[in-house]
Copies of this chain bind each other. A is one copy, B any other.
């Protein structure tokens, strides 16, 4: 085995151990954990801003924000009343379970119903790193084009749901929803496919419905 492949395997095994510990702690608190993965600028933070506004009365929520640099995303969410903590990765292109564990310790959030983990903007690197989440969301904005699932298949195959963002831009870009839908059907049959536009509100109820259903299922599974 090459030294690179061997090291990568050891790093991922170490991450999996840390993620298992996180998952046990999220099970104990009954917190639904969503790991959000997309390209830079596909609208993860904007979707969370809308979610913070619309679900504040229904659930307690918090967010861990992963970025290479700047506190900007955590500040945007705190301005909407969401508990948010910024994790700077020091140049790394993804969060890992150790950074999440350390971030949670420093954030000292109270127990919440839903924890969002907004990963570093990147369709590739975050895919292999388990963060102890219940499921990953792959987001894709209509401005990025309808060829992306087949070009970046790993994340679209592993996601627990696919969320299309910026649907309001469809009149101005080349983006065929059926093309994307059929790529997802091939990579990840049965994955929920939700089309949203945070600016207009399109599809947000379906997104909230998914969160609610997954949280209730998790609570039922632990008999809560």
Among listed A18-26, A53-61, A139-147, interface-contacting one = A139-147
Distance from A90 Cβ to chain B, minimum over Cβ atoms (Å) = 11
Instruction: Please tell me how many copies of the chain the complex holds.
Output: 2
Question: Are the C-beta atoms of B41 and A145 separated by less than 8 Å?
Answer: yes
Question: Are the C-beta atoms of A151 and B93 separated by less than 8 Å?
Answer: no
Question: Are the C-beta atoms of A72 and B143 separated by less than 8 Å?
Answer: no
Using Cβ atoms and an 8 Å threshold, which residues of chain B touch A124? Answer: 68, 91, 93, 120, 122, 125
* Given A93-B124, A122-B122, residue A40 in contact with residue B72 (CB < 8 A): no
A72→B42 CA distance, assembly (Å)? 22
Assess whether A206 is interfacial by the CB under 8 Å rule. Answer: no
Distance from A88 Cβ to chain B, minimum over Cβ atoms (Å) = 10
Counting chain A residues whose Cβ lies within 8 A of the other chain, the interface size class is 35 or more
Assess whether A11 is interfacial by the CB under 8 Å rule. Answer: yes
Question: Are the C-beta atoms of A68 and B122 separated by less than 8 Å?
Answer: no
Using Cβ atoms and an 8 Å threshold, which residues of chain B touch A30? Answer: none
Assess whether A69 is interfacial by the CB under 8 Å rule. Answer: yes
Question: Are the C-beta atoms of A154 and B91 separated by less than 8 Å?
Answer: yes
A70→B122 CA distance, assembly (Å)? 18
A39-B41, A72-B150 are known; give 9 further A-B pairs, CB within 8 A.
Answer: A4-B11, A68-B154, A69-B152, A70-B150, A93-B124, A122-B125, A143-B144, A169-B169, A172-B172
